[in-house]
Every structure is written in structure tokens, then in C-alpha cells.
Chain A
Amino acid sequence: MRIGSLSWTLAAALSLAAGTLASRITAAAENDPQTGELVPVTARFASESVEEVPSFQRHVSPLFGRLGCNGRSCHGSFQGRGDFRLSLFGYDFKLDHDELLKGEPLRANAEKPLESLILVKPTDADLHEGGQRYKKGGWEYHIFRRWLEGGAKFDESEVQKLVSLELSPPEILFAKAGETVQMKAVAVWPDGTREDVTPLCRFQSNSDQVATITEDGLVTATEPGDTHVVVSYDNAVVAVPVIRPVSELVGDKYPDVPTPTKIDELVVTKLRKLGVVPSDLSTDAEFLRRVSLDLVGTLPTAAEVEAFLADTNPNKRAEKIDQLLETPAYAAWWTTRLCDWTGNNDAKMNQLGTARQVASQQWYDWIYERVARNEPYDKLVEGVVLSASRAPGESYADYCAAMSSLYQKDSEAKFSDRPSLPYYWGRTGFRTTEERAIGFAYTFLGIRIQCAQCHKHPFDQWAKKDFDAFEPFFGKVQIAQNGPPRDPEARKEYEAMLKDLGLADTELRGNQLRTKLEQMLREGKTVPFPEIAVVDPPANRNNNRNRQPPAIKAAVLGGEEINLRDYEDYREPLMAWLRSKDNPYFAKAFVNRVWANYFNVGIVQPPDDLSLANPPSNRALLDHLADGFYEHGFDMKWLHREICNSRTYQLSWQPNETNAKDERNFARSVPRRIPSEVAVDAINAAVASDEKASQLVSNIQGRAIAVPGASARANQGGNVTGFALQVFGRSIRESNCDCDRSMDASLLQTVYLQNDQSVHTALNGGRDTWIEQISKKSTGQLTDGSRTERLNVGQELARMKTRLARAKKEGQDAQVKRISARIEELEKVAGERREAAANPGALAVDNATLIRQSYLRTLSRYPTPEEMERCDQFLASSENPVAGARGLLWTLINTKEFIVNH
């Protein structure tokens, strides 16, 4: 199927500019002899004597939009205005036409056209609350008048689908402030008619700081930069790029810039137009820290930094990327992101029968397993979209047995071995077709269609009918909390199971029953589980067999209508559309979100708003990545490699004169606060002992990026991690919107870093901390295997001396020898302790090592000589070395360089 995409209109516009679309229109008096286009209505309807009868769809309805009549504050309001209501932004021709034929006096009076309210009121400021909208005798007047005189007609069956809206120029390049360009818009209709509709369009500038646009489409340059002007007519929305270079360095004057990869080429192509020059390459230390935080959500350990800096292999960056892709942290971090996007919210699964933390954990594990083995993205999504609780061919009883077995301690079975992830469809707030249509579009398409639930969006193509046609795909998936839905066979199994459990006649219902079953589950019993299943709608079953049931019409967004009766599972055609080559959103939405992870902003920003009016900052780049992702079989690691190996990703954060103010075109690395989970893990790693820190890299147990669920409530949870995660803006996974995660900095985050009890405790030198590791105290094992820390040396010495005396007395030489050796050991420990007591807070490392290691484990680089000197002073003036080390580590964690990825 052919889908209207972001690019078709622009592509058409480009080919127009190239002159490839020759005129193929029958010439008429109103046609421009050069282009063959119908000249604008402003010319055709300028005179009183005009004979043409305008079309409701092509002229009258757009004119209402242009004049503001159907805006929200006027007749477009759902309650109308002055008892007259038009559909908001004119999405519903029929409703509008019906409304026009009503009124007292008639709004549109075909018998006595000149008495029609639509001619009388808007031309008279005194009569019309909305003031004068147009002049009597003007072109607008004549359009309405001629339509009325022609019978005020509209025929729903004659509504045509606009082929394209061609904009010229296709791109605007300004040189200085005050320059102007007139936009021209040509509508192309299926019958081949081409009409200049510029006066009937609505225009908007996405940033009036760069360009303003009048209601007639005149664009004026303001400040340097780039933006788009957006033009709407009928259901088309076209964004035209506007660029005014920020420096002289454009075209031939642009310096030679290396572009080793396709990404670099495409980025620099845009930068060349803008006069923006990329920064230099980042240093190795910067690269390692950046790629570790971005790709695997993990701060590199001190040892890792040292090894990487010492490595002389010229290919070491690419190799590091490959290594990181194989770590468990890679799978954990991207599972966390996929849990954000798919909405793994523990508070919304408390009716799925199992304790909600369990469902959340299973959700996490299911995705983790697939990310780790690099299952293609479309395959992973298929497991979510086409999910059902029972595996194909599995009976209800078998399903319950399999699920129950997961709870047994010695069970080998894993939830992630099951073929699909049904919880996605079972969440509260995700049960109606409307909620599902909206959430699904966010998650898998990166688009927002909630406006279209009620009206056409003014600056996107989706109208209410698109939304309505999208909803039926979600109608057959149901959740049954107490036993299987509408399946007599399974129902019997359910009842048998309750009987076995002695609950056949139970009066327990709802939560009480669930609690009881959960308890039995933990006792090792097989209990019935709630089920998410594809269930036929009841209407279907009641149908007369001899009669063909009515079709269930549905259409994917922008697609042709299909009959869902042709499919057992309505989600199948939806999934087929998602992964098809023609899908304009599926691959783009994912690559754009991944890109935003690496560059602070998406190519489309916000990343989950791929609407026509919100065009990509670099269309060719987005297309390249999306196409490549498709061609590589939705290989997620391919995408990460492609991005991380580009020079663009590896650029320095140090700006130059041309790119200092740019954050949308990827000419430098933009400093950004590290995400919540990554920040929490980074703090833990920075204060951990070397051994612990290396464990945190190799094993994700205890990591924030391994916390499965999230919700406003869970994030606020009492435990240390929960609080820190919330302060740093972990996603609340509430609405499928990317904005559920906050990347902003806040005062409370700084308060946390400076003064939270958990930070102080870690610096005080508890177990497994670095401060403990470097503190000089008697540690180690005695020859008998006991740890000296746990020893009361004084008591033990006294005991040994008594025994020695006795052994000597008894003449047991072997004993004497053994006891003497132990006494010697103990005295050594006692000596060390005396020394430590006399010299509290001593360290096992020298100051230079201490400072170097502190820098490596926090800022992932060596200190400069000046920094060494300043830190040395600080240590010297500290109460004792340990206090100095604490202070130093605290200080480095509180630098901007620590909490900012750069």
C-alpha cells in the first residue's frame, strides 16, 4: 500500500522546480498560459462579472479556514459561536455544509444569495461579533456569492483526495535580514487540474526569529539560522526549509571538512548551507566517557580509562564500540529505553494477577533477552504487538501451569522464553481502542494523533476519520482477570483448577481472590492466571450464519481501507504495515529516538512528534538512517555502530565561532545532563572500590539500569535508588510520551549531589567503597584463615599467652612453636593498629596516585598539572589524608564535568 509520507509533497515540489512536470492541463481562459495552472482565486474572482462557480471543497471550505471562521475561538469551537458551528479547521465538509444551510435567516440561501448570512455578517463589523472578515465586493465575497448563486452545492461523493500540494520555492535561502520571498502553492487534483491556491492556504513560521510569514505567504528574513515555514491546504501540510547562513563560510568559501562516513557527509551538506563548521574531533578520554555513558549507560572504570588512553591501536575507537555492544550494560540500558517507549509501568499492571513487580520484571527480562541476542527490532516489536498470553497451541491449563512454574524456586523456566509480551495490552489506561490507538502511535510510530480523536489537527494531516479508521485494529485484544474470556473449553479448565485448589465455591472476589491465589502460587501450586487474548467481538457470534457479516473497515494511518473480517487477528495487518518498507514512521521513529539518545536532540525534535509541521532538521540524514535500518533487517547494533563510528558523533564539545549557538544540526557535541539511571549508577561507580566498580560493569545486578518498572509511585519509593531516580527525572511511563522522562537540571539534583545522606555515607568509607579500599588499616588474613578486622587482638593475645605458658610448662614443644608463631602474628597486627591509632586517617596510597585515581574514576581523564597542584594543596590542608580523599572525591562528583556528558 502506498502511504502519504513526509517526503512526497516536497519531492513533488523539487521536481516542479526542476521543470520536469510540464503542463498537461487543458488551457482555459483562467489558466496561466505558461504553467497551465489555474490562476489564483484572487484574480479569477476579482470582478463582479465572474461566472465561475467555486467548489465547496477546493475554495469555500479553505476560505473559511483562511478567514479564521472555523478556528477554535470562533465557529470552530465545539459549542459553536452565535449558534453557528463549523468543524474545527474544516475537517468535516458535510457537517459544515449542513450547518450553512440552516439558520434564520439562512446562512447560505441559494434562492436569495445576497441575503445569506455568510455574505452579510462577515462584511459588517457592527453585526458580526468577529468583526469584518472581508470586504463586500472583494474576491472573498465573490467566491461565496458565486457558490451561493450556483446553488450552494456540496456532494459528499464528489470529495476528492488531493494528489499533492506543490510549493515553490522548495527551499528558501536568505542572505540578509529584510529579504523577502513570496511562496506559491499549487494544488494538484486527481483529474489533473492544477490550481494556484496560494490565497487559500494557511501559513505559519516555525520560528519567527529566523523568518516571518504573512497570511498571504510572503516570507521575510529576520535573524540568521534555519527553520521551516508551514503551509496548509485541504489535508496537505508542507514544511518548506528556510535558511539564512550564520557566517560567510558558505559554498566555495566553506573549509575542507573530513566526512569519513555517510552520516558525516549528510550532516556537512546541511552545515555547508548554513555556514556552520563542525568542531574538531574529541580527545580519546572524552570519546570513551561519552560513548560509555551514551551506548551502555555506564561510567568507565579508572582501569578502563587508563588502558584505553595507553592503547596505541589506531582503530581503538571502533573496537571499543564493538566491545561495549557485547556488555550486559548495553542490553540493560537499551532495555530501559525500550521499557520507557513501550510503557513498562508497574502501577498499571496490578490487575494482571501476579504481583505487579513480577510483571514489570518479566517485561524487562523479556526485552533484555532479545536486546542481548540482538533480535531484529521488528521481530521484538512483533512479539509485543501480536502478543497473547497463551503461546500458539497452548491450552489454558498448560499456560497456567507454565506461568505457575515460573514462581517455583528451582524452576529452570524463564518468562523471557515465552514467545510474546502480552502485558503491553493489559495495562490499565490501555484497554479502550482510543487509548490504544493513541499510545500505539506514540510508541511505534512516534506520532501524536490524539487531536484527531475529535478534529483534524491544524498542522498535521490526520483528521477524525483517520483516527476512527485506525481504532478497529485494537478492538479484539481483551484481558480477562478471572479466567479466560469467551472460551468454553478453557473455562472448564479454569473451574477445574479452582476446584483442585479448594476454591470452587469461594466467595473471594477481585483483589481478595488474587491475594489468595498469589499466596497459593508461592506455596508451589498451579493457579489460574489472567489472560490476554484475541477475542471475537460478541456481535460476530450472534450473526445469522446465512448472512455475510458486515465488513469491519479499517485503515492504517494514510493507508487504504481494508476489511478486518479477512483476518483472524486484527493486529496482523497492522504489524505487516509496521515492518513494511513503505511505512513512513516505524523505522524513522526508532532511529530518531536512538539518535536523540546520542545527540541530546532528535533529527526530529521532540523525537516523538513526527508530524508534517515538525520536519526533521536534516531530512536526508533521517532517511539514510531509516532506510539503512530497514535494509539491515532492523539490526539495532548496526544502527548504534553506524552512529557511534561517525565523526559527527565523535566531535568535540568545544565550539567554534560558527557552531556555538547551534544545537540542532550536530556540528559539535552538546553538553547534556546524563539521564537519571545513568547518573545514579555513575555516582555509585565513582565511589565504589575498584573491585566493586568492575563488578558493576560486568554484572548489572544492583544497577539502576536494571530496575525494571517505573511509575510516579515507584520512582518516589522509599529506597535510596527510588529517590535518586526520581530526583534525576526517571520516566514515569505514564502516557507513552517521551516527555515522561525529564532531562532538565534542577536545584534538588544539586542538593542531592552535595548533601544527600546516601552520598555522604558512600564517602564515609563503608563496605566496598573506594575510601575503605585506600584507607590504611590493618587488613588481611591470619594463617588460620581468620580475618584480622574481626579480631579482638588484645583479648586474643592474652588468651594465647596463657596457653603458651601452659604449653611450656607441659613441655609440648610443637604447641609452643605454633602458639609463638600466632603470638608473633597478633603482635604485628597490634602494632599496625597502634600505628593507625596514632595516625588516624592515613592512606595506603600517595597523594599523586590519589588525585589521579580520583580524576579517572569520576571525570574519566587525568588531571592537568594545575589541577594536581590545587588538589595537593587541598590534601595538605586536610585534617587527615582520609578526610582529604573524601573531600576530593566529593568535589569531583560535584563538578559540572561529572554530571554532564560532553
Chain B
Amino acid sequence: MAISKTCDGVHRRDFLRVGAIGAGLTLSGYLRMAQAGEVQPGAKAKSAIFINLTGGPSHMDTFDLKPNSASEYRGTFNPIKTNVDGVEICEHLPLLAQCADKFAILRGVSHTLGAHELGTEYVNTGNRPIPSLEYPGYGSVVTKEKPGEQDIPPFVAIPNSNQRPGFLGVQYAPLNTTATPRAGQPFNVRGISLGGGITVAEIERRANLLADLDRTFAAVESNSQLLTGLDRFSEQAHAIITSKRARAAFDISQESAEFAKPYGTDPFGLSCLLATRLVESGVRFVATTLGGWDTHQDNFTKLKTSNLPKLDMGLSALLNGLEQKGLLESTVVYVTGEFGRTPKINTRSAEGGRDHYPRCMFMLMAGGGVRGGQVIGESDDNAMAPRHEAITPDDVAASFYHALGIDHTHEYHTNTGRPITIVRDGHVIKQLFS
């Protein structure tokens, strides 16, 4: 498992502070959700893949180069042409340059949260974090709105995800594989296939007994997010372990060598291969991560030797692979870090680094009806700020849900009647789908 430590040293959400009773922290426990949001006719995406570039990738050294800016900004990388006229990206992303027609680049995306955990929560939920409520990650909302088939886990994280279920409750949490696939080794999420010589009939018999005996908390379950979640997990686990399809979904060794080759042997590339296969098997939402972007020091060496080649290979193989399987139209792919990095290069290390910079960043989106080969938004001369109106993470979130046919203005209601909109402040970016 790749631990992508950031300079804050924080990995999990740890700042939620709520003192409320009857509300606040226990909110999720007694939320009574309204009917699921209406699915919009005509939406193309059935599934989604979310790739989190944790640590905050430098926009200026990846998808928003400024070759004409002054040396204290510019950096050492040069732009290269892509297979789309007029669109240029970093020279260390040659494979992505060859499939730029498949994804849209969003530039001049902007927000104000420069701490890892807050920024991460923002881009993983589409809502600016507030202290009294934890918003659910995209995968949890999709799980709730488009649950999919019972024996296939709806939301899989490779190996885990920053998308937490928030107020929706733990039953919408991802299935974490806890490991990334390794080259040349069979991959199997432990416990997914029925083992120990137990027959399906025996498991069914036990499950019936369990349903009858597990009644101790029956009267209070609706008050406890934990107890509700455990019930749901119990049903899901039962469906999954008795299903042959579920096991096959995780077995990337069933892909042909020819198909798997472009994904390479790096854990990120293989995670992309697994994501492709999971989507093909009916998983609604796959989240995966490529970390190591927190380049306060030695920005250029790190990017050139490690991050960019991994991203280039994994993401290009994913987009091409989805297309090859005819899944790109029905799968929306969203790639983002938690913020960009300072355009001005700091001088704390020999070759310089870049610090946290939420005011200007990039995001990528592909598939699921998104028109590839376009650049939306623009940053100013030194990539310091959006040149015109900023694109917000909320807007991108609204568009992401839109591609999936989920109305982002849909409201969930607490039992006290408090409405909570799926994305509070976002607007669908129409140009993405034009």
C-alpha cells in the first residue's frame, strides 16, 4: 500500500469538531434520507473512476505550462504538442499527449483551502468542508443513488480512499482492497470468494440463523450509524462471497497479456488495470490514488523521475483500455489533486520546490459523455490565478454527477427537516459535454 504522506503528516480526516447533541456528530445516525434522487434521462455514464493525486500536483509542471514566464516561475520542463491541435502539456507526459483527444483539461480551477486534509475533503466531496457536518465522498453518493447489483460491491477503493461516507453513514463506505496489485502476481481480495469447504447452502442456512438471532439491538438500530452500517455490510458480504462474478472481477490475471501490457508494472498502472476490469464487471465507482505530489523540495527531479512517468503510463492505459472495451462512453473518469502548487519556485532546496497553492490548479475529466480534446478555463500569465472566472471544485463535482445522471441539486433531508444539497454551490460546466 502506498502511503502518501503529506507535509502535514495527516492522512485521515481528523479535524471534525462538533459538540452538538441531537444534531452534529450523531446527525448521520438518525438521518432519514429522502427518496433517492431522480436519475436524469440521457446521462451516458453508468460508472465512474476517480483518481486522487494526493499531495497536490503542480499545475505548472503538468497540464498548465507557462513557457514564457520568468525563470523564478517557469521551471525546467518544456511543453510538447499533443494529438489535439493547440493543446500542449508537459514533455514528461508523452503517452497522455498521444491520447489528449480522450480527456478534457480544466485550467484555472480555484479554491482557498491550502491544507492537505481540508483540500482533500473538498475535492473528494465537491463541498467546501464545514465543521458541523461531514459531506459524503462522490463514491458514497453514487453508491446510494445507483446501488448496482447486490453481489458486486458498488464502491471499491484501491487500496483505500479519501472518500468517506460522511453523514450518509458507514454503509456507503468503500470496499478497500487494502493492497495494490503487483506485477506477475494473482490479485484477489482476501475473503471475497467462498472458502473453507463451505457450501453455498450451508452459508444460506447460517445466514438465516443469523437474521433470527441478531436482534439484540433491533429497537435502537435506527439511532446508530454503526449498527445500521453493520447490517448493510452483513447483507452485502453475504451476496458477494456467494457470487462467482465478484471473485472474477478482481482477478486481473484473466486479462490478456496484450491488453495488460500498456498498463505496465507499477502499482498505479496495475490499479488502473484493476479499475478497468471492475468497471467492466459492474462496479459503480472505483477510487484509486497516485501519491507523492507534495513536492516542497526537489520538485522537478521528483516529478520527472517518478510521478509523471507513473501518471503518464497508468492514465493513458486506462483511457485507451476503457475505449478498447467500449466502456469509455459509459465511464466518467475524474482526476484531481487537492490543490495546485505555488507558481513561484521556493529556494529551500537545491533545485527548488513548490508549495501548496489552491488558488490555481488543474483537473482532468474524461469519458461518460465528456468531450475530450478540449481545454476549459485558463490561468493568467504566471498561472497565479484564473484569467477569467474561476472554475470551482463545486462546479466540477456538479458536472461529474451530471455525467452520471445524478442531480447535484437534489436534497437529502434530516429528520429534523434540514435540507442538505448533494453539491451546495456548484453549476454544471456545460462546455464539458458540448
A438 at the interface (CB under 8 A from B): yes
B16 at the interface (CB under 8 A from A): yes
**How far is it, in angstroms, between the C-alpha of A276 and the C-alpha of B21 when the chains are bound?**
10
Contacts known (A72-B114, A210-B24, A745-B230); A760 close to B213, Cβ less than 8 A: no
Contacts known (A224-B22, A227-B20, A246-B22); A896 close to B13, Cβ less than 8 A: no
B192 at the interface (CB under 8 A from A): yes
B388 at the interface (CB under 8 A from A): no
Q: Is there an interface contact between B418 and A617, defined as CB atoms closer than 8 Å?
A: no
Stretch at the interface among B32-40, B202-210, B269-277: B202-210
Q: Is there an interface contact between B233 and A756, defined as CB atoms closer than 8 Å?
A: no
Q: Is there an interface contact between A609 and B15, defined as CB atoms closer than 8 Å?
A: yes
A174-221, CB < 8 A from B: 204-210
Q: Is there an interface contact between B11 and A747, defined as CB atoms closer than 8 Å?
A: no
The answer, among B1, B18, B21, B153, for a CB contact under 8 Å with A747, is B153
Q: Is there an interface contact between A609 and B17, defined as CB atoms closer than 8 Å?
A: yes
Contacts known (A735-B10, A874-B209, A887-B206); A225 close to B20, Cβ less than 8 A: yes
**How far is it, in angstroms, between the C-alpha of A665 and the C-alpha of B21 when the chains are bound?**
8
Q: Is there an interface contact between A746 and B170, defined as CB atoms closer than 8 Å?
A: yes
B258 at the interface (CB under 8 A from A): no
Q: Is there an interface contact between B217 and A896, defined as CB atoms closer than 8 Å?
A: yes
B191 at the interface (CB under 8 A from A): yes
The answer, among B14, B342, B418, for a CB contact under 8 Å with A79, is B342
For B205, what are the chain A residues with a Cβ–Cβ distance below 8 Å?
874, 877-878, 887
Q: Is there an interface contact between A896 and B153, defined as CB atoms closer than 8 Å?
A: no
The answer, among A613, A653, A712, A891, for a CB contact under 8 Å with B213, is A891
Q: Is there an interface contact between B196 and A764, defined as CB atoms closer than 8 Å?
A: yes
CB nearest neighbor in B for A893:
B210
**How far is it, in angstroms, between the C-alpha of A654 and the C-alpha of B205 when the chains are bound?**
30
For A246, what are the chain B residues with a Cβ–Cβ distance below 8 Å?
21-22
- Residue from A71, A78, A877 whose CB has the most chain B CB atoms within 10 Å: A78
Chain B at the A interface: SS class: loop
A890 at the interface (CB under 8 A from B): yes
Stretch at the interface among B95-103, B236-244, B259-267, B364-372: B236-244
**How far is it, in angstroms, between the C-alpha of A738 and the C-alpha of B10 when the chains are bound?**
10
The answer, among B21, B203, B213, B240, for a CB contact under 8 Å with A274, is B21
A748 at the interface (CB under 8 A from B): yes
A755 at the interface (CB under 8 A from B): yes
Q: Is there an interface contact between B132 and A207, defined as CB atoms closer than 8 Å?
A: yes
Contact digits for B168-193, partner A, Cβ 8 Å, 1 yes 0 no: 00100111101100000000011111
Contacts known (A747-B236, A896-B231); A890 close to B344, Cβ less than 8 A: no
A515 at the interface (CB under 8 A from B): no
For B418, what are the chain A residues with a Cβ–Cβ distance below 8 Å?
209, 223
B221, chain A: closest CB distance, angstroms: 8
A761 at the interface (CB under 8 A from B): yes
B350 at the interface (CB under 8 A from A): no
A485, chain B: closest CB distance, angstroms: 25
Contacts known (A227-B24, A276-B21); A671 close to B227, Cβ less than 8 A: yes
Contact digits for A850-868, partner B, Cβ 8 Å, 1 yes 0 no: 0000000000000000010
A536 at the interface (CB under 8 A from B): no
Contacts known (A751-B241, A755-B237, A887-B206); A735 close to B16, Cβ less than 8 A: no
A9 at the interface (CB under 8 A from B): no
The answer, among B3, B19, B196, B214, for a CB contact under 8 Å with A757, is B196
**How far is it, in angstroms, between the C-alpha of A662 and the C-alpha of B223 when the chains are bound?**
10
Contacts known (A712-B3, A887-B202, A891-B209); A209 close to B233, Cβ less than 8 A: no
A636-669, CB < 8 A from B: 653-655, 660-665
**How far is it, in angstroms, between the C-alpha of A78 and the C-alpha of B178 when the chains are bound?**
37
For A71, what are the chain B residues with a Cβ–Cβ distance below 8 Å?
112
Stretch at the interface among A97-105, A106-114, A388-396, A726-734: A726-734
For B8, what are the chain A residues with a Cβ–Cβ distance below 8 Å?
450
Q: Is there an interface contact between B14 and A751, defined as CB atoms closer than 8 Å?
A: no
Q: Using a Cβ–Cβ cut-off of 8 Å, how many residues does chain A contribute to the interface with B?
A: 99
B392, chain A: closest CB distance, angstroms: 12
Q: Is there an interface contact between A747 and B237, defined as CB atoms closer than 8 Å?
A: yes
Q: Is there an interface contact between A712 and B21, defined as CB atoms closer than 8 Å?
A: no
A599-624, CB < 8 A from B: 601, 605-606, 608-609, 613-615, 617
B372-425, CB < 8 A from A: 384, 416, 418
For B78, what are the chain A residues with a Cβ–Cβ distance below 8 Å?
none
The answer, among A210, A750, A867, for a CB contact under 8 Å with B234, is A750
A704, chain B: closest CB distance, angstroms: 17
Query: Interface size class for chain B?
Result: 35 or more
**How far is it, in angstroms, between the C-alpha of A608 and the C-alpha of B216 when the chains are bound?**
33
For B192, what are the chain A residues with a Cβ–Cβ distance below 8 Å?
751, 755
A617, chain B: closest CB distance, angstroms: 6
B282 at the interface (CB under 8 A from A): no
A91, chain B: closest CB distance, angstroms: 16
Contacts known (A223-B23, A877-B205); A734 close to B237, Cβ less than 8 A: no
B220 at the interface (CB under 8 A from A): yes
CB nearest neighbor in B for A611:
B17
B31, chain A: closest CB distance, angstroms: 11
Q: Is there an interface contact between B12 and A742, defined as CB atoms closer than 8 Å?
A: yes
Q: Is there an interface contact between A663 and B25, defined as CB atoms closer than 8 Å?
A: yes
B290 at the interface (CB under 8 A from A): no
For A895, what are the chain B residues with a Cβ–Cβ distance below 8 Å?
210, 213-214, 216
**How far is it, in angstroms, between the C-alpha of A764 and the C-alpha of B212 when the chains are bound?**
23
Q: Is there an interface contact between A755 and B229, defined as CB atoms closer than 8 Å?
A: no
B41 at the interface (CB under 8 A from A): no
Contacts known (A665-B21, A747-B153, A896-B231); A723 close to B173, Cβ less than 8 A: no
Q: Is there an interface contact between A661 and B30, defined as CB atoms closer than 8 Å?
A: yes
Q: Is there an interface contact between B24 and A209, defined as CB atoms closer than 8 Å?
A: yes
The answer, among A207, A609, A890, for a CB contact under 8 Å with B24, is A207
B307 at the interface (CB under 8 A from A): no
Q: Is there an interface contact between A756 and B132, defined as CB atoms closer than 8 Å?
A: no
B153, chain A: closest CB distance, angstroms: 7
A608, chain B: closest CB distance, angstroms: 8
B198 at the interface (CB under 8 A from A): yes
Q: Is there an interface contact between A606 and B14, defined as CB atoms closer than 8 Å?
A: yes
A39 at the interface (CB under 8 A from B): no
For A225, what are the chain B residues with a Cβ–Cβ distance below 8 Å?
20-24
**How far is it, in angstroms, between the C-alpha of A206 and the C-alpha of B213 when the chains are bound?**
41
B382, chain A: closest CB distance, angstroms: 10
For A870, what are the chain B residues with a Cβ–Cβ distance below 8 Å?
209, 212-213
B389, chain A: closest CB distance, angstroms: 12
For B212, what are the chain A residues with a Cβ–Cβ distance below 8 Å?
870
B136-169, CB < 8 A from A: 153
**How far is it, in angstroms, between the C-alpha of A897 and the C-alpha of B220 when the chains are bound?**
13
CB nearest neighbor in A for B417:
A223
Contacts known (A750-B233, A870-B209); A660 close to B357, Cβ less than 8 A: no
Q: Is there an interface contact between B26 and A662, defined as CB atoms closer than 8 Å?
A: yes
The answer, among A79, A661, A757, A902, for a CB contact under 8 Å with B22, is A661
Contact digits for B111-123, partner A, Cβ 8 Å, 1 yes 0 no: 0111100000000
For A450, what are the chain B residues with a Cβ–Cβ distance below 8 Å?
8-9
B111, chain A: closest CB distance, angstroms: 8
Q: Is there an interface contact between A664 and B22, defined as CB atoms closer than 8 Å?
A: no
What are 23 inter-chain pairs, A to B, with CB distance below 8 A? Answer: A78-B342, A204-B131, A206-B20, A209-B24, A209-B132, A210-B24, A224-B22, A225-B20, A438-B9, A609-B15, A661-B26, A662-B21, A663-B21, A671-B224, A734-B9, A739-B10, A739-B13, A751-B175, A752-B190, A877-B205, A887-B209, A890-B206, A894-B214
B interface residues with partner A (beta carbon < 8 Å):
1, 3, 5, 8-27, 29-30, 112-115, 131-132, 153, 170, 173-176, 178-179, 189-198, 202-203, 205-206, 209-210, 212-214, 216-217, 220, 223-224, 226-227, 229-231, 233-234, 236-238, 240-241, 342-344, 355, 357, 359, 384, 416, 418
Rank and list the top 8 A-B pairs by shortest CB-CB distance, nearest first: A760-B196, A209-B23, A73-B112, A739-B14, A735-B9, A207-B20, A225-B22, A750-B233
10 new A-B pairs (CB below 8 Å) besides A671-B227, A735-B11, A887-B205?
A: A223-B20, A223-B22, A450-B9, A608-B14, A661-B22, A740-B11, A750-B234, A895-B214, A899-B230, A900-B227
